[in-house]
Amino acid sequence: MATAQFGSETSQRGEWVRQANRFTDRIGSPDWPAEAGRYRLVVSLACPWAHRAVIVRRLLGLEDTISLGVVDPIRDDKGWRFTLDDGDRDPVLGIGYLSEAYLATDPSFSGRYTVPSLIDVPSGKVVTNDYPQITIDFSLRWKAFHRAGAPDLYPETLREEIDAVNAEVYRDVNNGVYRCGFATSQQAYDKAYAALFERLDALAARLADQRYLVGDTITEADVRLFTTLVRFDAVYHGHFKTNRNKLAELPVLWAYARDLFSTPGFGDTVDFDHIKRHYYGTHHQLNPSLIVPQGPDPRGWYEPHGREALGGRPFGSGTPPR
């Protein structure tokens, strides 16, 4: 590997490589039983990986079971900061920086402090920052605390298909936009750009005659795709050079994203201010001026999407979150 960049690394070919998750313990193990009030989910509202956990927590009704800490959208040299809270400290954990929880767990840790992180409140230690597993565990290992009418986001009969779709979406779309934005060679950028739009075209074809990615209800797969799509025009299209088309110029995906945006638990967890301030105000190498653009106009997200005509039941036999 070559020199570290943006908290991860670039290969000798200029390809961006995401940092591996350091903490991968699971709730439901003997050391970490599922208990209401014991754990705190720390997120940035700007981060798509953290946004997944916010959506799933809300859809399943875990707000009163797992508390939520939100960091400042601007990450400085010390990492994520709790400057949105009184005294610049998280009111539950009592820390000013997420790094304090990481170093309390592993004093030798020298990587990037990432969100989402699920932290054990009594000890102040990080249980997991394994973002793909956090949301799956919310569905499977916190069932006893789900609200009445919570949807099944990871139904057993569809898990193999959901996992396959998630793998493709992660490689080419979720992580693909970063591989475009942080590439340090033309060859690496071109490769990531081609894979991204080939996958978006394939997803559009898949969604042309079905409302959701897998089955006829919202699943984990829709959550994972949505958090990238909702950031696409605001930051990825320009900031990460993913500019073959805007999302608003891709009719099927634009309608699909608006359908989810209008669904309780999705649009009401989006913060475009945090999203734009983080990306444009943190990536100095990509945006030396740190100017945050005014657009795009968010009112387009509220336009009718017409996807109801495809059928489907957003929450299956369940109900929307409160």
- Rg of the chain's alpha carbons, rounded to an integer? 19
Q: How much is the average pLDDT of 19-42?
A: 94
**Residue tagged active-site, from 39, 47, 189, 193:** 47
180 is catalytic: no
The 3-state DSSP composition of the chain as helix, strand, coil percent (nearest 5) reads: 45, 10, 45
Say how far apart CA 245 and CA 232 lie, in whole Å: 10
CA angle 298, 300, 305 (to 5 degrees): 140
E runs forming strands in the chain: 4-5, 8-10, 16-17, 39-43, 67-70, 117-120, 125-128
Cβ atoms within 10 Å, residue 303:
12
Q: What is the per-residue pLDDT across 80-119, written as a single tens digit (0 to 9) for each?
A: 999 999 999 999 999 999 999 999 999 999 999 999 999 9
Task: For 313, list phi and psi in degrees, rounded to 5.
Answer: -130, 105
Domains of the chain plus CATH, in order, are 8-145 (3.40.30.10), 157-310 (1.20.1050.10)
Measured between its terminal Cα atoms, the distance across the chain in Å is: 47
**Residue tagged active-site, from 97, 131, 154, 178:** 178
Say how far apart CA 161 and CA 222 lie, in whole Å: 12
Tell me, what DSSP letter sits at residue 97? B
pLDDT at 11 over 80: no
Tell me, what DSSP letter sits at residue 22? S
Token pair for residue 35? 């208990």
**In 3D, which of 160, 151, 199 has the Cα closest to residue 179?**
199
pLDDT at 8 over 90: no
Instruction: Name, in order, each residue with C-beta under 8 angstroms of 174's C-beta and a sequence gap of 6 or more.
Output: 48, 49, 224, 225, 227, 228
Say how far apart CA 137 and CA 54 lie, in whole Å: 13
Q: If pLDDT is split at 50, 70 and 90, which confidence band does 322 have?
A: confident
Q: If pLDDT is split at 50, 70 and 90, which confidence band does 2 have?
A: very low
Tell me, what DSSP letter sits at residue 12? T
47 is catalytic: yes
Handedness of CA 215, 216, 219, 225 (dihedral sign): positive
